[in-house]
Copies of this chain bind each other. A is one copy, B any other.
Amino acid sequence: MNKPTINPGPVRGPADHEVRDQIVSAATEHFRLYGYEKTTVSDLAKAIGFSKAYIYKFFESKQAIGELICANCLRQIETDIRAAVDSADHAPEKLRRMFKAIVESSMQLFSEDRRLYDIAASAATGQWQAVRDYELRIQQLLQEVLRLGREADDFERKTPLDETANAIYLVMRPYLNPLLLQYSLGATDDAPAQLSSLVLRSLSR
């Protein structure tokens, strides 16, 4: 069978999203080795073999690259947390596993990828959009679990849902936020179990 003739059009370089991916992947590697704070866009350009101007064509700043890497990391943590919530049938156990996954998955980022954690810390200090989005999605997930528990008569319904969700989020926050997590390390072994038990007692009917 003859292949159909395709008009190849003008010769083109790689697509924009490919270049962006290439920059992000090289930058991730570079930040992992040398840290985010200490690396400049010039360092990155040299390491990738691009000109600085070329990188600026795709990202307006180092932070824009960092934001994308950070968003990827946070999406991984969020995926772990959602998987943990989905792995249980009932709301109380979902909440328990949510606490556990928050601490474990954030700790993993902290201990295994110390350099990438630096990006997350910069992100939390600078209130990057990726972090705000992440916090919002975790709050939504928490609300879903609470709503489910109320519908199944597992949780009390007297307290306004917003207030309950917000208070529980405040309890989770020191383990979600990388800046707080680094100071909560000593307390993390028993923390998820003890805090989720306390929260579940507060939710009992």
Contacts and interface: CB of A to CB of B under 8 A. Distances in A.
A201 interface: yes
A198 interface: yes
Interface residues of A, number: 28
Interface stretch (A50-58, A89-97, A145-153, A184-192): A184-192
Interface string A84-121: 00000000000000000000000000000000000000
How many identical subunits does the complex contain? 2
A180 B173 CA distance: 11
Interface string A24-46: 00000000000000000000000
A73 interface: no
Interface of A: 124, 156, 159, 163-164, 166-168, 170-171, 173-174, 177, 179-180, 183-184, 187, 190-191, 194-195, 197-199, 201-203
A127 to B, nearest CB: 9
